[in-house]
Structure formats: C-alpha cells, structure tokens
Amino acid sequence: METNLVIEGFKFMGLGMATVFTFLVILIIMMNMMSKILNKFFPEPKPSAGTNNNIQNNNTKVIAAITAAIKYHREG
C-alpha cells in the first residue's frame, strides 16, 4: 500500500478551499437577501427640503466645537 502524501495534501487543500469558497458564497447570498428584506420593511426615509439647512447648521456647530477644542489644546 503506497500513498503519496503530496497528493493527499493537495486533496485536503482543495477540499478546504472549496468549503471556504462555498461558505463565502452562501454568506454573500444571505446578506444580500437580508438587505433586500430589511429595505422592504424598513426603508430609509427620504430627506425633506428643510433637512439640508439642518445639516448645515449641525456642520457649523461641529466645526465650531473642533476649532474651540484645538484652540484650547494649543493654549495648554
């Protein structure tokens, strides 16, 4: 009984790689399905016309806070 360990190693390597590949394909398919289901039952709200001003106000406040923090840090 003569066994070639290199060939056996390649067989196990192929089996392992095929298993991982199959798992990843199933994972991607399931994540896409989950995303479609969630978007169907919980769609993202569309921004209204006044939302843009609100975002700009928030950005202004964030910029002011960052500027104040940097100034405070530099002064000691």
Q: Average pLDDT for residues 24-31, to the nearest whole number?
A: 98
Q: What is the pLDDT of residue 69?
A: 94
Look at 63 and 26; give whichever has higher pLDDT: 26
**How many angstroms separate the CA atoms of 51 and 12, rounded?**
57
